[in-house]
Amino acid sequence: MTSASGVLSVGELARRIPVGRERFLLGIAGPPGAGKSTLAQRLRDELGVVAVVAPMDGYHLRNEVLRARGAVARKGEPDTFDAAGFVADLRLLRDTPLGVPVPWPLFDRAIDEPTPAGTIIRDERVVLVEGNYLLLTDAEAPGWAPVRGLLDECWYLDAPRPVLTERLLDRHTAGGRTPDEAHLKVTDSDLRNADLIATSRHRADHILSADGSGYRVR
């Protein structure tokens, strides 16, 4: 049931996710800084052992590859990820029977690198796949188009631009950038990514926005 204010609690959102005999892949898309990781983890906590979070961040290309391509400053943009590897592993999740282990990479912010097989997905029947580029077409970013068809459902988490800007500045300064470096990264890369991602919003099954401790859904 939705509250009188029109805001759904995380528990109410979790009850919208089907938990059946087959694995269900729920995408959580949206711009950087929108709170996708937080929402995914809160849903996982509500669902318990039947669910696991599978972030897209583990498919960042390694820094040595980005340096060779002259792309370090653009890290986080669509072509700085292993989109083909991400798609292949999503297919593997769909095709692998429950109980058979599927390794999934994670991203370690402390070393700014992906860690192969950071988590192992086995019996979980709900996989919460969170990331920026889950709804893009090949015209918008080559290599990402197959993702949407591999997800059973995809939600888009939105947030106002000033909120994104503040969160991203805090993230980058906490990661060691100077305020000027953080500002450049946000304005020259992150917010451009956010504009690209926003063009894919209409492909989501539902659009969410945080409201207090809950979320509005449309």
DSSP per residue over 104-158, as a string? EEEEETTTTEEEEEEEEE-S-SEEEEE-S-TT--TTTSTT-THHHHH-SEEEEEE
* pLDDT at res. 99: 96
218 is a domain residue: no
217 is a domain residue: no
Separation of alpha carbons 27 and 40, rounded Å: 9
2 is a domain residue: no
92 burial type by CB count under 10 A (0-12 exposed, 13-18 middle, 19+ buried): middle
* pLDDT at res. 175: 85
Separation of alpha carbons 52 and 47, rounded Å: 9
* pLDDT at res. 218: 86
1 is a domain residue: no
Q: What is the DSSP letter of 34?
A: S
80 is a domain residue: yes
Q: What is the pLDDT along the chain (218 residues), one digit of tens a residue?
A: 345 458 999 999 999 999 999 999 999 999 999 999 999 999 999 999 999 999 999 999 999 999 999 999 889 999 999 999 999 999 999 999 999 999 999 999 889 899 999 999 999 999 999 999 999 999 999 999 999 999 999 999 999 999 999 999 999 898 889 999 999 999 988 999 999 999 999 999 999 999 999 999 98
The residue assigned the tokens 């969160």 is 167
Number of domains the chain is built from: 1
The residue assigned the tokens 């970013």 is 141
Query: How many CB atoms within 10 Å of residue 88?
Result: 12
CATH number of the domain that 37 lies in? 3.40.50.300
The residue assigned the tokens 């099954």 is 205
- Work out the angle at residue 38's Cα, subtended by the Cα atoms of residues 171 and 155, and round it to the nearest 5 degrees: 115
What's the domain range around 171?
10-209
* Residues counted in the chain: 218
